[in-house]
Amino acid sequence: MRKELHQRIDQLYQEMVDIRRYLHQHPELSFKEEKTAKYIADFYDDLGIPYQTKVGGNGVIATLKGGKPGKTVALRADFDALPIQDEKDVPYKSKVDGVMHACGHDGHTATLLSLAKALLSFQDELPGTVVFLHQHAEEYAPGGAKPIVESGALNHVDAVFGTHLWATTPLGVMQTSKDVFMAGADRFDITIQGKGGHGGYPHETNDAIIIGAEVITQLQKIISRRIDPLQTAVLTIGIFEAGNAFNIIADKAKLVGTMRYLDTRIQDQVIEEMERIINGVCVANGATYKLNYEKGYPPLINHAEEAELVLLASKNVPEITTREEVVPVMGGEDFGYYLLEKPGTYFFTGAQKEGNEYPHHHPKFDIDERALPIAAKTLMEAYLAYQEK
């Protein structure tokens, strides 16, 4: 059956590409994916595979029960886009101003839909049950995975697997980890209240811009001087808003940033250090502040046994020439919520497009679409391998 399934997936290649390109032209932002969810539901309607909609929000979950006894395995694909203007010069460029599939979720969806169609052709021979988990809102915390877990929709699932088309990894390479694979990702904003005034009379003010700059500089010392150098964390300020005229000293500044970590003990330490530093700088400068810290996605920690299973199963995919265990990446991914509840693993499918080596979340992001069937085959092999445990 494996050989026939591979052949069926290859036969569906053009349909995968068509689905991916349609979704690429019609992206929707996190928590606003109503049309995309309907597109997915309509696809399962046409196949005759039962499904649920509005799972944890805009999630869609379809279920295919095989003809033979076995375990229940979920395969996940996300389907939200990003608030980025598409700058690619391609026929399938986004038609929605300021919104773009800049992370490959359109490809994830095309992969899983086509895999469902392929598996349906062999339903009677399939062991166990396949759960096709189409998740909304991966890009924006609190995300879609957490409410899907909280809905109880996966209570009956034995394991969960997922893949990310990885645009900076060459085609034919599969990467994963038997431990921490992706970072926890938090968000924070800091509002500093100083005292504004005339640009020519700084002694009568408490300059919020100067205070904000000092806060930024001091916060970086958390990473360089307070965290064990054998541990890992990233603290980035992405937004610094202050002032509205060249000759007015700003009374207020707002800093917005993210913190990435691999160990929750480091997360706690950084939060404590941030509060101490911000308070100290503001007290020293006669200013006040407000820190709003939002804990986001947890670290994505693969289960070692399931990661090994995927590494071995990928050997059945001839297009995969290299399989690697890699160090964690500092990007966040709410698939980690599933792995807190169920055994499973997450892996990268190399999708680097020749001549277009832009990273994820870039206005010119694109993928090599030949990675779509590779991702489908690897998910299929993971599913079958788990049934054989």
Helix (H) or strand (E) holding 364: none
Active site annotation includes 80: yes
Active site annotation includes 28: no
Per the annotation, does 139 bind a ligand?
A: yes
Burial class (CB in 10 A: 0-12, 13-18, 19+), 294: exposed
Token output for 359: 């990273």
Considering 28, 33, 78, 80, which one is annotated as catalytic? 80
Per the annotation, does 103 bind a ligand?
A: yes
Token output for 206: 């408490």
Cβ neighbors of 375 (< 8 A, separation 6 or more) are: 107, 108, 111, 163, 165, 349
Place of tokens 């399931």: 306
Cβ neighbors of 244 (< 8 A, separation 6 or more) are: 250
Whole-angstrom Cα distance, residue 46 to residue 49?
8
Per the annotation, does 362 bind a ligand?
A: no
Per the annotation, does 164 bind a ligand?
A: yes
Residues 273, 224 contacting (CB under 8 angstroms): no
- DSSP letter for each residue of 161-177: EEEEEETTS-TTEEEE-
Whole-angstrom Cα distance, residue 178 to residue 49?
33
**CA dihedral sign, ordered 22, 23, 29, 35:** positive
Alpha-carbon separation of residue 207 from 119, 217, 238, 285, 360 (angstroms): 64, 16, 20, 9, 37
Whole-angstrom Cα distance, residue 258 to residue 237?
7
Considering 33, 78, 138, 368, which one is annotated as catalytic? 138
Token output for 336: 């980690």
Per the annotation, does 101 bind a ligand?
A: no
Give the burial string for 109-121 (b: 16+ CB within 10 Å, else e): bbbbbbbbbbbbe
Which residues participate in catalysis according to the annotation? 80, 138
Binding-site residues sit at 103, 105, 139, 164, 361
Binding-site residues for Mn(2+) sit at 103, 105, 139, 164, 361
